[in-house]
Structure 1
Amino acid sequence: METLPGLSRGILPEIAEHPEKVIQFGGGNFMRAFVDWQLQKMNDQGLFGGSAVLVQANSPRTDPNFAKQDHLFTVLLSGIENGEVVDRAEIVSSIRRSVNPYQDYAEYLALADNDRLSFIVSNTTEAGIVYRSEERPEERAPSGFPAKLTALLHRRYMLGKPGFTVIPCELIDRNGERLLEIVNKHADDWNLGKAFTSWLNTQNTFCCSMVDRIVPGFPHGREQELAARFGYADKLAVTAEPYMLWVIEGPESLQDQLPLARAGLNVIFTPDMTPYRERKVHLLNGPHTAMVPLGLLAGLETVEDVMKDEDFYAFIRLLIEQELIPMLPLPLDELEPYAQSVLERFRNPSIRHELRSISLNSISKFKARLLPILLRFARERGELPPRITSAFAALLYSYRGDKIPPQDEASVTAIFDRAWSDPNRFVTDILSETSLWGVDLNKVPELATRLESHIRELESSGPRTLLHQLV
């Protein structure tokens, strides 16, 4: 095979350049296939006319491929969308340059001088939005992302310029509020003054946001195939599913400043993102948590295996339709299309989503994703949701450890080891562990009895007998 040129503006000189409007902390796979891809969509339609400056958030190392490729990369959208198979490639040119605060702190702070830069986005992982005490920076960049942001905002304030709209994408609840809280803490630590604190909290908009797109990353093993298809080599290519959702909690005026929805993107601006977060947690993450213990006990390995299995597919579909959707506080015309998209995403043959990887810390996941629905269902209908209860039984049974090695914190597995030491008392003992569930679940009528019955059935007949009864 002939050697093909690398992706760059040299081979694609017609690609337009746009002025810098966005400061972007983090240039990993997700941000490029999510935020930068959306900026590209707006630019393609003449709605935004702006690019991003990429800032090294946590690591002093810069990937040399960004400079080699003039910050161009290909997003490969692969999967199912509206019932149709999707396999398309799109070149993204919305990152204009990179800035490394560790190598040139002055260049980083100079971003505050640019009046056109008005948005800040970030994805520094969940570990990025944390408070760590740091000395006030002078000549060198602080190590933490919130500290770097504080220094940049203070420079902006000292220049007498307007504040920023900050939209973090980290997967933590109320991410914008948490980030602002930490920036305020650094401002206090560094004695930056009440006037700066007032400007920080009144002249900047910190939005909470929720992101949703599965991004497996670089298409390993397909390099030669894709190079032949594209006519160039791309070391920054990134694979993503077609589906995406961005819910941004902020002022109504933001819709005009950032016209993502007008570009046809699945972006929701709302004064309260709570219902949408609940929708994702319960309708996307909830079925994942429900399928894992039953699927592993049945010998299945991936989400795709589950969706191809007639028994399991029926279980997941009825779980969503009869137990999850009725308990969520959103209109059906918003819940049902989302649920359909979830089923499509679960069937995506381009993504190998292993049940074992989803099983990590399953107890805390059940508490967040399915237990609230179980309790609400029991309270409002006076009965237990049968499929959630069955999944709960399989989860408890799996933590016995002889069928599926639990992947959880040592403190959690220790509680289960103690409870399983007396099988006759296991269910009542484990349900009483408020450290796991937040409440004593023995107070839920019939729950202990039902779980004991399901566990006996799982042990004697296996998961498929239980599924047949439910379906």
Structure 2
Amino acid sequence: MKQLSKGLIEESKVECFRAEHLPEKVVQFGEGNFLRGFVDWMIHQMNKQQLFNGRVVAIQPTPHGKVVPKLKEQDGLYTFVMRGVEGGQPVDKSEIISSIARGINPYTDWQEVLEVAENPAIEVMFSNTTEAGLIYMQEEYHQEGSPLSFPGKVTAFLYHRYNVFKGADDAGLLIIPCELVEDNGTVLKELVIRIAREWGFPEDFMQWVARANQFCNSLVDRIVTGFPKENSDAFFERLGYQDVLLTVGEPYHLFAVEADSAAAGLLPFTKAGLNVKWGDSTIYRDLKVRLLNGAHTMMFAASYLAGRDTVFEAMRDQTLLKYVEKGMKEEILPYVEVEEQEKQSFAASVLERFHNPYTRHMLTDIGMNAVYKFQVRVIPSLIAYVKHEGALPRVLVFSLAALIIYYRPVRREGDFLIGSRQQGEEHVIRDHDHVIDCFHETWARYGEDPAELAEVLLQQRELWGMNLLTIDGLKEALQQELADILQYGARRSVKQLLMDV
């Protein structure tokens, strides 16, 4: 079976929109599954409709990346398989994406990256280097070599472009980072100016960065599971060719970008029928964090302890489905300050996505760094419910108890804790060092006393961002839920909860 490449396309073995004649108009820091299944897929949709007519140069973000050689092998081509449920109907279709012109390893070919900066046709910069990439790193500037950090690369790239075009305003770029960091565009802009100042670049350059370049805050939402390792041969058989960059994702997508009308004109996503929102992204961030991410965090521990392994399995379990729906519809949704139709529509899409039979979203993956996730995603909903109702939200309190029991260690292995559910399966508890230390010590000391356990953990500001003991009645309610789960197990406790409320 032949591998996907331009040669395979030329043999007319498969259908593909031919884009090699289109100019390079986008520089992209990152070449992983998400960008290929999100931004690059979107650009491909615009190109097919002759709305954008440009291609992407993908820059490898870390020294250990493995995608660029594969892009070269396949002439920038890869397959995106869209699988899921949309409008109540199953979706399962594949398409060869041709929006990437080439990939560059900046650590071996930095001059090639600088040549991209010299190209006047480049108008847009995207990135997704993960949250860990959008941080400050102290490093020296070397004109002949690539900086290690992502903000350092952006600074050096823009500085070279500034010099080549002699500070012309029309050489500035539309810059849209996609990292899941709040105010990501503002953060990146501040990092670039800080690094430029430390590297001794002229003040005029920093003014040009702020004046001529538009750094946009954004929010992205699509589950892209990437290469299907477990059944790749079946996919290859279905496609009729091999594709080492095959990427699988769900139909749902949302891209909220805070930018002006000129940006919307430059990137006509909406004209291509894509779910892109221009303007203030705050409401979409609130919807995503509270309803999608919050529901994930609310459900993961209770569902896992009740014997389920994935989100889809939990949704097929009628008891857990009722638990999730009750938490979302009665304890989270009413107190999200977004227009009613917008949030009802989003909530419906979340439940539809949770029912996607093709997405194997492991509950233990959601459980990584779950304490911080609970702080950001669930506690605001808990507080909002208390404020409006003068009572405690039973499902959200139960979800906190389930999380605490999920973090109960049977032993410690280095930087991790090992937990166990009643069925005997063990799970690895991954979190920040201070979280691991806190739960290890607190369970060891107070594990036999739910009242002490609740009191000690609730007052840990470093865990929850506040002292949760200040919420009236929370200690007593949490104590009871902890005792019930420890005595009767998660499944029976969830059933009882649903009967009580």
- Counterpart contact for 2:221–2:253, Cα < 8 Å: yes
Distance 1:425 1:222, change over 3 A: closer
Of 299, 310, 331, the residue aligned with 2:307 is 299
CA drift at 1:382: 0.6
Residue in 1 aligned with 2:417?
Answer: none
Measured in 1, the distance between the counterparts of 2:441 and 2:183 equals 36
Measured in 2, the distance between the counterparts of 1:364 and 1:66 equals 36
Partner deviation per Cα, 1:10-44 (whole Å, 9 max, x = no partner):
23247233111100111111111111100001111
Tell me the SS of whatever aligns to 1:188.
helix
Letter in 1 for 2:318: E
CA drift at 1:64: 2.5
Residue in 1 aligned with 2:62?
Answer: 58
| 1:187-206 alignment runs, 5 A limit | 187-206=196-215
| 1:215-294 alignment runs, 5 A limit | 215-270=224-279, 272-294=280-302
Partner deviation per Cα, 1:217-254 (whole Å, 9 max, x = no partner):
11224343333332322221111111111111122322
Tell me the SS of whatever aligns to 2:224.
coil
Residue in 1 aligned with 2:27?
Answer: 23
Residue in 1 aligned with 2:40?
Answer: 36
Measured in 2, the distance between the counterparts of 1:112 and 1:352 equals 40
Distance 1:458 1:209, change over 3 A: same
Of 406, 412, 415, the residue aligned with 2:438 is 415
CA RMSD of superposed structures (Å): 1.8
State TM-score, norm by structure 1.
0.94
Measured in 2, the distance between the counterparts of 1:243 and 1:172 equals 21
Letter in 2 for 1:229: R
Residue in 2 aligned with 1:360?
Answer: 368
CA drift at 1:132: 1.4
- Counterpart contact for 1:9–1:15, Cα < 8 Å: no
- Counterpart contact for 1:60–1:100, Cα < 8 Å: no
Measured in 1, the distance between the counterparts of 2:430 and 2:363 equals 12
Measured in 2, the distance between the counterparts of 1:46 and 1:330 equals 35
Q: After alignment, is 80-89 or 128-137 more displaced?
A: 128-137
Measured in 2, the distance between the counterparts of 1:223 and 1:394 equals 36
CA drift at 1:61: 5.5
Measured in 2, the distance between the counterparts of 1:19 and 1:86 equals 32
Partner deviation per Cα, 1:43-93 (whole Å, 9 max, x = no partner):
111111111112222226563221221111110111111111111001100
- Counterpart contact for 2:28–2:56, Cα < 8 Å: yes
Residue in 2 aligned with 1:433?
Answer: 460
Residue in 2 aligned with 1:6?
Answer: 3
Residue in 2 aligned with 1:451?
Answer: 478
Letter in 2 for 1:134: E
CA drift at 1:194: 1.0
Of 341, 351, 359, the residue aligned with 1:343 is 351
Measured in 2, the distance between the counterparts of 1:110 and 1:318 equals 55
| 1:392-407 alignment runs, 5 A limit | 392-402=400-410, 403-404=420-421, 406-407=429-430
Residue in 2 aligned with 1:140?
Answer: 145
Partner deviation per Cα, 1:96-137 (whole Å, 9 max, x = no partner):
122332223222112222211110001112221121122222
Letter in 1 for 2:474: L
Tell me the SS of whatever aligns to 2:299.
helix
Measured in 2, the distance between the counterparts of 1:107 and 1:394 equals 52
Measured in 1, the distance between the counterparts of 2:113 and 2:32 equals 19
State TM-score, norm by structure 2.
0.89
The percentage of aligned residue pairs carrying the same residue is: 39
CA drift at 1:417: 4.0
1:172 aligns with 2:172: no
Tell me the SS of whatever aligns to 2:332.
helix
Distance 1:400 1:220, change over 3 A: closer
Residue in 2 aligned with 1:461?
Answer: 488
Distance 1:442 1:60, change over 3 A: closer
- Counterpart contact for 1:419–1:425, Cα < 8 Å: no
Give the gaps of 5 or more residues in structure 1: none
